[in-house]
Amino acid sequence: MNAPAPRMRAWTVRRPGPMVGNPMTLVDLPRPVQRADELLVRVLVCGVCRTDLHVAEGDLPVHRSDVVPGHEIVAEVVGVGAAVTAFDTGDKVGVAWLRRTCGTCRYCRRGAENLCAASEYTGWDANGGYAQYATVPADYAYRLPGGYTDDELAPLLCAGIIGFRALRRTGLSSGGTLGLYGFGGSAHLTAQLAIAEYGASVHVLTRSAAARDLARSLGAASVGDANDMPPEPLDAAIIFAPAGHLVPVALQALDRGGVLAIAGIHLSDIPVLNYERDVFYEREIRSVTANTRADGNDFLRLAGRHRLAVTTTPYSLSSAASALTDLAAGRVDGAAVLQCED
């Protein structure tokens, strides 16, 4: 008689909608089995990202019914596919948002795999880390820097990587001025990197008093409300909050030739822009679409070099819905992290 298949606990998005309507359910699922090119991993911790909230609440279209969210996964390898040679059981790895690309389209060939039309994403196209076990294609798993706890590593895998991609998209020069709109899990890492790696003067504009206090403690040159003007013109700005009304606010804060990057995967509608006031003098708006593996590896190397201070709020795996509810309400300091060994 065959032994029963191993099981695991996991959260699934059963009916996308506002968190007040309980769109997620904690269920018992079969433990996944890795393919030949994949790793089976035991989830140690999983960060809670605003993109998970967009998946749960339906801001992003359903790609997989009853999907398990989560894409900031720190895990231990417990199974290795037959075609994998780069990892062994017992290795600690990171699993991030980008899960697969075709590798052959014109975007992949030119190093822009984040634009691949066949790209797949952890916790959206495939089950993610709000679970005890997950799988990841070995070519998309990350080696992790030392000197961090598991809780601290988790936000690096999306909040950190996407913030770094957004920073790159601004073209910020050494010693430049940078404005950050919203100051959560991603922005508080980006601020530190901009100061340490670019010598930037960072101005933080956010509605949260607690976030403003955190920004001051991390070395921000100034802090203010999201609708305030910074004390000096900005060479670059990044909007992390999913609030389209901040686009003209940030554009007006830019110096001539300044660049605004929008870091989120979802943004509310942007108000009508006035050409003279908002975009003249060669101000630019640039979107940010996922990331490449090169972005991820470059960022994690820098995180190992600079030892970023990572602010986290822990939750148990069984409290994942509460973590997303708190994130939606702005009650999370830094980044929420699920402890997945409970």
- All structural domains of the chain, each given as residue ranges with its CATH number in brackets, are 7-143+311-339 (3.90.180.10), 160-287 (3.40.50.720)
Give the per-residue pLDDT at 242.
93
pLDDT of residue 4: 76
**Rounded Cα distance, 338 and 326, in Å:** 13
Tens digits of residue pLDDT in 8-48: 999 999 999 999 999 999 999 999 999 999 999 999 999 99
CA distances from 241 to 57, 184, 205 (A): 16, 8, 10
pLDDT band for 342, please (50, 70, 90 cuts). low
How high is the pLDDT of residue 39?
98
Model confidence, pTM? 0.94
Token pair belonging to 250: 């940030």
Who's near 24: CB < 8 A, 6+ residues apart? 11, 12, 13, 14, 56, 69, 320, 321, 324
Number of Cα atoms under 13 Å in the Cβ half of residue 40: 16
pLDDT value, residue 340: 87
Query: How many whole angstroms separate alpha carbon 271 and alpha carbon 245?
Result: 6
3 state SS of 282: coil
